[in-house]
Amino acid sequence: MGRRFIRIPPWSVGSCCNSEGAALVLVYLFRDRDRATKFAYSTDVTGRNLSLRMPGTNWAFVMAALDEDIAEDEKAKCHLRLRGFYAFEK
């Protein structure tokens, strides 16, 4: 018998569940190098999706976080889950 490999879907990488059983997703915080007040969360560790959506920005990785730790409102979390990124000024 040959070996069988199970393909793990890319959306499941970095996911787990909290005590209530809700999925936790690892997200990545970036800062625009040219504007110290502009930030973005991305589900892409490389941040490539940020440059495609917002030309003229120069993103630098800041840190990784769980989506439940995002301080912004529920609208931000929803946008992040649907679009893969959320940009904001702080």
Segment 50-57 mean pLDDT: 80
Residue with tokens 């909290």: 18
- Tens-digit pLDDT profile for residues 15-29: 444 455 566 778 999
| Residue 23, φ and ψ in degrees, nearest 5 | -70, 135
State the pLDDT at residue 17.
46
Q: Dihedral sign, CA of 39, 43, 46, 49?
A: negative
- Tens-digit pLDDT profile for residues 54-80: 778 899 999 998 877 887 777 888 888
